[in-house]
A = this chain, B = another copy of it.
């Protein structure tokens, strides 16, 4: 645990803020969150995944957050919620408030004379801020960040150390960018001409909406001509590639190591699995779920879940089966031939 947690709250205070039914002493106080397994006195734990139910009996937590189906699964003081994980998120946010900007700029930061940093914003050591760039109220720019010129950064933004933002990009309010994220690098725009690649200048911007979070070492390229757009509430994990002119709809979440190719358009409230890929110029509607390690090669018409990972096996079985995969079309032909030989009515091959 890395944050000092002095403040405590009673179950009653928590319930008043976030809802939930109290069972047991409403005045019992908690001052930190913990897992059922490692909780100690003063901690509030939660049970959202039934697979951890056994841990309830042995926990030393002072109180627990439970779903309705589990309301009687313990005798500990408890808060019973429709969605215990969301309730836990609220409680943890209350007990672990994010670090606030401490107004002022570290003397080692290099801030262009024409940049406008809000008075109550904070710029940490050795950050660099370019000309005509604006940093909004209460925003916190981490050490070693380099922000180009003509960038607009909203209010209550948190940039962790060593983030890079190229010229002209726009960052909304309450955005969080983790270390190593690169916003606005050139899209991969090249044209072959007489045996050499010509560079196509990438003159669009990256525009990031409010309440977006971008993981460590994730890259979002600027548009070739128009902008790359990340709508409000989008959550991107680490090491994700977002190519030029992509648009990601509001409240979509993408897990680590995924890649979205140029000009793809992803809808709202999608959930994209880790190491998945979205091909260029593809359109994905709202409320689509893409499984881990899946490559989407063409546009999807309907919401739903789409998958395409190769099922793993012990190496010996994989070798045998994968070898046959190279003969699958031949195998289908042979099956069809047998069917015809037997004069059975040929079935649909869908």
Contact = CB atoms under 8 A, between A and B. Distances in A.
B259 A1 contact: no
Interface string A234-274: 01011101010000000101011101010000000000001
Interface string A213-253: 10111010110011000000101011101010000000101
Interface string A31-47: 00111011000000000
B325 A331 contact: no
Interface stretch (A6-14, A69-77, A115-123, A175-183): A175-183
B179 A164 contact: yes
A322 interface: yes
Contacts of A341: 342, 344
Contact of A160 (B88, B95, B164): B164
A39 to B, nearest CB: 9
A204 B33 CA distance: 11
A128 B311 CA distance: 45
Contacts of A255: 188, 261
B125 A125 contact: no
A146 B144 contact: yes
A308 interface: yes
A192 B327 CA distance: 39
Contacts of A199: 89, 93, 176, 213
A226 to B, nearest CB: 6
Contact of A125 (B3, B96, B110, B291): B110
B307 A89 contact: no
B146 A128 contact: no
Contacts of A253: 190, 197
A339 interface: yes
Interface string A189-200: 111110111111
A161 interface: yes
Contact of A92 (B3, B186, B201, B277): B201
Contacts of A124: 128
Interface string A299-340: 000001111111111110111111111111111101101110
A256 B257 contact: no
Most chain B beta-carbon neighbours within 10 Å: one of A2, A239, A251: A2
Nearest to A180: B182
A177 to B, nearest CB: 10
A185 B193 contact: no
Contacts of A235: 188, 190, 197
A334 B1 CA distance: 59
Given A161-B128, A321-B328, A328-B325, A217 B219 contact: yes
Given A166-B179, A191-B85, A309 B311 contact: no
A3 B203 contact: yes
A283 interface: no
A142 interface: yes
7 contacts: A110-B143, A176-B186, A188-B235, A190-B235, A215-B219, A306-B314, A327-B332
5 closest A-B pairs by beta carbon, nearest first, are A2-B168, A308-B312, A146-B161, A96-B201, A305-B315
